[in-house]
Every structure is written in C-alpha cells, then in structure tokens.
C-alpha cells in the first residue's frame, strides 16, 4: 500500500471516482450527527471548504440558500460535485488556506474531513475568518485525533486496483480549537460521537464486525461548531473578560445526565435563571481536567479574585445546576455544582 504524508491533488483525483460509492462508516456517522445540526440557510450564503464531491452542497442546495460556494484542491472532485449540482453552485479550484473568494462572502462555512490535511492551522483559521461575515457559523468535522492515535487508525482508500494510505497532521482538538479562539471565534459546541447501530451495519456488510467491536467504545469523529462574533475585531483568547466568558463560554446546555454542549445563547448574568437548563464548568484553579472547555475557562479566569467578583451573579445558576447533578467530568468538563460552589467561594 502506498503511504502518503504529503497529499498532492492527484491523490484526491484518484479518490474522486470511488469516494461516493465506497462504504465509509465515518461519513455515515458524520451525516447522522451533523445533518440535524445544520443551521437554517434560507437566504444565506454558504461555503464548503474542501467540498470534495459536493455531498454536503447537494443537501444544502435543497434548503434554498442565497448562494452556494465550494472550493477544493482536486479538479476531479470538483467535476463530481459539478455533476451533482449543475449551475446551482460556484465551484472553484483552490486551497483551504488561499481561497479564490473575496472577503466576507459567507454566512455559513462547512469544512468536513479537511483539518487533518491542513499544513498551517493558523493560516486555515485566518482564511476562514477572512471569508466569513460577522455572526457566521463555522462547522468543522474530522476523524477524532485521540482515537486515531490511540487505536492506530489508518486513512486509506482502494482505487484503480491499488490501496493508498494517507497520513494526517495529527492536530489535537485543543490545537484546532485554539487556532479559531485566537481569531476571536466563539466555541458553541463540541460533539465526539461513537459509532452506533447505523454504522455497525456498514461494518457488517463489509465483513468487519471485529473492527466495529474494537472501535465502538471510542469517539470516532468530532463535530466542532464555532461562531464568528457580531463584532469581527479579533479578541484575546476569544473573549473580552470574565463576565463575558461566563455568559458566552463557561456554560453548557444539558442534553441529558451525561451529555452537554456549550450554550449558544449568552446567559443573562445577574438575572433569575431557575428555568434555564444549564450546567456550570469547573473553574477550580488547580483542576487537572484537560478538556477543551475547562482550558478555555482557565485561560480567561485570570485570578481567584476575578472569579470571586462574579460569584454573586451566579447564585441562581448554581441553584439550577445543583438540581441537574453531575455529568462526565473530563469529557464535557461538567462537575457537581456543590464542588463548583466550594471551589469559587465557599457557597452552600
């Protein structure tokens, strides 16, 4: 099998002929998770960075956007996309770090299974920043880097009678997230789904249930949802201060007892929150948790005194969090509210 660490466009040209026809549980899982997350794009301008054969652009075309843009480094991938989309999309040959579009052309950006192949994350985030308008939504997906490393997963495809392996850059979730936070983007949600019964069927049809059983306990992909703030000026660490951090970043919306996502709406600090289903992040200054959300908090909470300055504003939120209980610490960054209260000010 050929193993490529530097991926020329010709590699993706070869893959284009079989990309849509070969069974791929990663793409199936992405479809199952990302599909329901797509925003309402009616009247909006949508850009797919690394659009490949146009699989997402075709779905988005049915949602009546104002315009569809796609860019890819592979001419053959773009030909496949053009066959699906006809004149409904502006497809351009180009790189994810040097796109052939003007400034501020998109309200929604997707980039699926692309980040792993990006040479310069900072340049990638900068280019996404350039082509998006203030308030834009950015959705990124890829193979989960932790599982890829720990399970020694290989990226490969079969075409033209041979197998080609591809080596990604191994960017961690923290590195990917930091690249966008440094540009002032806000983290809305991070999902790390595992294979389910739908994907199990694909493994079964390929005669590889053994691979499914070994992979099932681990997150297979990630889906990162970001927002460019209404004010497009870059801000240090993605936030301006602790109060804003609590309102925009340091809250999670409960999806259930063991799952939460970052709140997509600012929390009205100082108001009664007893009806809001939120959980509070661990802000313990010597916390050893390495989750993405905790790290974001610790980068904006400069000192214990600064934390104490906003404790009073969080009484109502703590009351709600106590009733909601504990989530999966270390994955979602959610901790028991009583522990949180003791950590930040001895509240009971």
pLDDT in tens, 75-89: 998 999 999 998 889
69 has pLDDT over 70: yes
Instruction: Grade residue 157 by pLDDT with cuts at 50, 70 and 90.
Output: low
Most confident listed range (9-23, 271-285, 329-343): 9-23
Round to the nearest angstrom and report the end-to-end CA distance of the chain: 61
319 has pLDDT over 50: no
CATH level 2 (architecture), domain 2-234: 3-Layer(aba) Sandwich (3.40)
pTM for the whole structure? 0.67
pLDDT in tens, 209-239: 999 999 999 999 999 999 999 974 444 444 3
111: left (phi over 0), alpha (psi -120 to 50) or beta: beta
Distances (CA, A) of 336 to 34, 114, 297: 29, 36, 16
Q: Which of 127, 132, 43, 49 is nearest to 92 (CA)?
A: 49
pLDDT top residue among 264 and 304:
304
pLDDT in tens, 21-51: 888 999 999 999 999 999 999 999 999 999 9
- Position 318 scores a pLDDT of 41
pLDDT in tens, 125-137: 999 999 999 999 9
- Position 160 scores a pLDDT of 66
- Position 250 scores a pLDDT of 36
Please report which residue ranges of the chain form alpha helices under DSSP H.
9-19, 25-37, 55-61, 75-85, 121-131, 145-150, 173-181, 197-205, 209-215, 242-248, 292-300, 304-308, 315-324, 337-345
Least confident interval from 206-210, 229-233, 246-250, 314-318: 246-250
258 has pLDDT over 90: no
Q: What angle do CA 269, 274, 277 make, to 5 degrees?
A: 90
Tokens standing for 312? 């009073």
341 has pLDDT over 60: no
139 has pLDDT over 80: yes
- Position 116 scores a pLDDT of 93
267 has pLDDT over 70: no
Q: Which of 64, 55, 6, 53 is nearest to 35 (CA)?
A: 55
pLDDT top residue among 2 and 157:
157
237 DSSP 8-state letter: G
Task: Give the residue extent of every domain in the chain.
Answer: 2-234, 242-345
329 has pLDDT over 80: no
């Amino acid at each position: 099998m050929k193993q490529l660490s530097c991926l020329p466009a010709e590699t993706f040209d070869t893959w284009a002929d079989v990309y849509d026809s070969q069974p791929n549980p990663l793409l199936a899982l992405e479809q199952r998770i990302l599909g329901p997350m797509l925003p309402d794009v009616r009247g909006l301008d949508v850009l797919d960075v690394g659009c490949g054969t146009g699989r997402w652009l075709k779905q988005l075309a049915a949602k009546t956007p104002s315009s569809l843009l796609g860019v890819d480094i592979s001419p053959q991938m773009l030909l496949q996309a053009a066959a699906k989309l006809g004149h409904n999309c502006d497809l351009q040959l180009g790189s994810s770090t040097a796109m052939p579009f003007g400034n501020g052309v998109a309200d929604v950006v997707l980039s699926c299974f692309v980040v792993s192949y990006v040479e310069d994350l900072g340049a990638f985030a900068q280019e996404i920043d350039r082509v998006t308008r203030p308030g834009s939504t950015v959705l990124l997906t890829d193979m989960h880097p932790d599982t890829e490393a720990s399970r020694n997963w290989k990226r490969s495809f079969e075409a033209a009678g041979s197998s080609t392996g591809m080596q990604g850059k191994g960017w961690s979730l923290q590195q990917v997230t930091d690249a966008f936070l440094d540009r002032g983007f806000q983290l809305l949600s991070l999902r790390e789904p595992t294979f389910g019964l739908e994907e199990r069927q694909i493994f079964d049809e390929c005669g590889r249930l053994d691979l499914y059983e070994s992979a099932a306990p681990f997150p297979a992909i990630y889906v990162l949802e970001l927002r460019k703030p209404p004010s497009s000026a870059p801000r240090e660490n993605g936030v301006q201060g602790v109060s804003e951090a609590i309102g925009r970043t340091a809250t999670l919306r409960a999806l259930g007892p063991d799952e939460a996502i970052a709140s997509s709406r600012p929390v009205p600090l100082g108001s009664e929150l007893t009806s809001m289903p939120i959980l509070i992040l661990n802000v313990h200054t010597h916390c050893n948790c390495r989750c993405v959300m905790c790290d974001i908090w610790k980068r904006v909470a400069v000192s214990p005194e600064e934390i104490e300055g906003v404790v009073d504003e969080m009484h109502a939120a703590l009351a709600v969090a106590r009733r909601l209980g504990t989530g999966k610490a270390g994955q979602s960054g959610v901790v028991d509210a009583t522990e949180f209260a003791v950590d930040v000010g001895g509240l009971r």
